[in-house]
Amino acid sequence: MTFETEKEIEKFGAELSLDLSVFDQLFLKKVIHNRMNVRECSGSAYYLEYINKFPDELEIFKDQLSNSHSEFFRNPFTFSLLENVIFPDLIRSLANNKSREIRIWSAGCAAGQEPYSLAILLDHLKNSQSGTFNSRIFATDHLSEQLTLANKGVYEFNSVRNIRLELIKKYFSKQGDSFVLNKQIKDQVDFSEFDLHSTDTKVPPSSIYGDFDLVICSNVLFYYCDTVQKEILAKFQKSLKPGG
């Protein structure tokens, strides 16, 4: 089997008791062939035999389907736009809002780099904006081990290399080779487990009702097929407050 058709991939997934239909076909083929090459398996039958013999390979394969690589301030243009345009506009819009609260959903948050980047920006802006405001950031991922890392808030250099030096000095402490995030930033983010293509819930339960000013979902959608992408985007749209 060379995995050239959807039926071949569907059959492969059935053998592993996995629903692979939600993923983008090109992405799936790349992951499968990569693992087959790593394990030097010349065909699907040999790879299935390898998985049955070494169950840890199945976990590695599933991890490859849930790429959790992330960095602080990944995609610099996006964060520049947030810092200089979007967040200042949101802060100004709070002038007539009694709650004076900005609500954000970071979907597919991995080990917390994205939501903590948002929290750092907002905290930094509080020093340069007139008046006061609160922010609540709800960060979700479907991998509990990633959420455990996020709650610890300890990162290696590769994760923080995009952060401006002034912000590293202000919000992190250096412990050996690691950078430890300050408690004041950690306390601004609520982490919870959430499956984006689940039909059971539309928003993170901890947010209660959604009503977000901003939804951020970076480097996630392209792993999924068109149908699932549309379902996720529809969920995001319904979770936003008017004008969000």
Contact 225, 21 (CB under 8 A): yes
- pLDDT score for 4: 59
Q: What is the mean pLDDT of the chain?
A: 91
- pLDDT score for 131: 58
Instruction: Give exposure, 138-152, as e/b (b: 16+ Cβ within 10 Å).
Output: bbbbebeebbebbee
**Alpha carbons 85 and 89: distance in angstroms, whole number:** 6
Q: Between these two residues, 9 and 112, which has the higher pLDDT value? A: 112
**Alpha carbons 117 and 150: distance in angstroms, whole number:** 12
The pLDDT of 143-167, averaged and rounded, is: 95
Question: pLDDT exceeding 90 applies to what percent of the chain?
Answer: 74
**Alpha carbons 58 and 62: distance in angstroms, whole number:** 6
- pLDDT score for 241: 94
Contact 154, 179 (CB under 8 A): yes
Going by their DSSP bridges, the two strands 154-155 and 178-181 should be labelled as antiparallel
pLDDT digits (tens, 9 = 90+) for 90-112: 988 887 776 689 999 999 999 99
Q: How far is CA 213 from the centre of its chain?
A: 18
Position 1 pLDDT exceeds 60: no
Q: Between these two residues, 54 and 7, which has the higher pLDDT value? A: 54
3-state DSSP call for residue 157? helix
**Alpha carbons 126 and 27: distance in angstroms, whole number:** 41
The pLDDT of 73-97, averaged and rounded, is: 90
pLDDT digits (tens, 9 = 90+) for 111-129: 999 999 999 999 999 877 6
pLDDT digits (tens, 9 = 90+) for 123-148: 999 877 655 788 999 999 999 999 99
The pLDDT of 212-220, averaged and rounded, is: 95
